[in-house]
Structures are given as C-alpha cells and as structure tokens.
Amino acid sequence: MENGMAGTMTRRVMLALPAGMGMARGQGRKLKVVVAGGHPGDPEAGCGGTVARYTEAGHEVTLLYLNRGQKGCGSKGQKECGEVRTAEAEKACGILKARARFAAQSDGEAVVDGQRYGEFRKMLEAEAPDVVFTHWPIDNHRDHRAAWALVYDAWLGMGKKFALYYYEVSDGEDTVMFAPREYVDISGTEGKKRAACFAHASQDPEKFYALQAKVTGFRGIESGYAQAEGYVRQEGSAGGMLP
C-alpha cells in the first residue's frame, strides 16, 4: 500500500514538472525543428536562445522566413533591402548553426489564400519537421498573423504530426495577450541569441535587443531561470519537445 502511494505521488510530481525541465521526448535522436517567422530577425528574437540549445544538442533547425523584409530599410529600394536582410539572416543562422529558408512573400503584403496555404504546406512537408514554432496568432504585424495562419493550416492538413509551439516577438511592440505556459532556460545561450539579433544590423538592434532582454529576463523570473524564452503549446499538439 505504501509503495502504491509513493508511486502515485511520484507520477504526480513528474506531471507537475514544466516541459523544459523533463527529458525532451525526442532526446536520443536527431530532431528536425522549424522556426517560422514573418521577417528576418523574428525567429531569432523569439526563439534564438532555444534554437542555440537545439543545435548545441545536435538537432537540426531551419529558420523559415515568410519574406525577406524588403520594406524594412528606410529609403533603400526593396530589391537592395531584401538582399541586405537576406545576408543578415544568413549570418544570424550561421551564428545559431541553423539553416535559412525563405517563402516567396512580400514584406507587409502577406497573402493568405488557397494557393499560399498549399505552397507553404509543401515547404513544411519538405522539411518533415518534428517540431514547429511560429508567431502567436494575436500580433500587431499582419505578416506575423499570416505566418501563424499558414503554419496552423499546414499543421491541420498534415494530420497534426509535428509538435506546434507559439513564441512571442519580444520587442515590446508586436505580440499581444501572450501568456506562456512552458519555458526554455536560455541563460547559457543568451550570448548566441544576442549575436544573432545583432547580425540584423540594419534593424536598430541596440534598441530592440534591449527590449527583448527585458522580456527574457521577465520570463526568467516567471520560470526560475536567469533568462528564459516562453512558449504556448497548441492544444492537441504533442508535448515534451522543448530543449
């Protein structure tokens, strides 16, 4: 009887552990991870520390950008700006040991229709991911909301076969009404995240990284780490996939 009680208590304790503290379900095999974002810099800002945790553990990560941020360089033309920001994204991915991939959408003009749903799903199917991260759906940038819609539709269409997590773009301006439930300790990888964010030199990283650091510090206070990234896991998604 006593043993039975102890067993029940142990199970309860294990269920109460945050996912980030348990063994990642895919541990022991190489995971394929995709972090989808609207623009160059979004996956790095929301998940850079987590991406570094994955790649340091030998997992394979792709940062999938919906567009090349063509309108985000002030007076520069869109073609030139897209080239600058593509190079910045490649540099950031090099720092995080991730791979960059771009969907062929335009900055600020994301299209969500039957054709784009199909194209985006094909891109994800080609990646065959175990885990996908994307923007939280309530976000002040329309491209971020579009990225969420495209990923969510692919998740449904692919039979919910990859784990699906939502991240916040922690620059204090975009993601709203976000209350994370799971956390990744990025205290040891914050330096790589910082370097990846600063690779986006055209995007005023001094200003935005300071805001991001406040958010990861706050998420750390919530979760008991020095610095943390917070996530919401989609209901119905497999869990236990965070590093």
List residues binding Zn ion (CB under 5 A). Answer: 38-39, 42
Tokens of 137: 């759906």
- Nearer to Zn ion (CB atom), residue 137 or residue 240: 137
Q: Element (H or E) spanning 88, and its range?
A: helix 78-96
- Nearer to Zn ion (CB atom), residue 42 or residue 168: 42
The distance of closest approach from Cβ of residue 193 to Zn ion in the complex, given in angstroms and rounded to an integer, is 16
- Nearer to Zn ion (CB atom), residue 89 or residue 154: 89
Can you tell me the distance from the alpha carbon of 208 to that of 187, in angstroms, rounded to the nearest whole number?
19
The distance of closest approach from Cβ of residue 226 to Zn ion in the complex, given in angstroms and rounded to an integer, is 26
- Nearer to Zn ion (CB atom), residue 54 or residue 65: 65
Residue 181 CA, distance from chain mean position: 15
Spatial CA neighbour of 233 closest among 186, 179, 190: 179
The distance of closest approach from Cβ of residue 240 to Zn ion in the complex, given in angstroms and rounded to an integer, is 28
Q: Look at the block and give the residue holding tokens 């040891």.
A: 188
Tokens of 11: 């199970």
The distance of closest approach from Cβ of residue 19 to Zn ion in the complex, given in angstroms and rounded to an integer, is 26
Tokens of 161: 């076969």
Q: Using CB atoms, what's the residue nearest to Zn ion?
A: 39
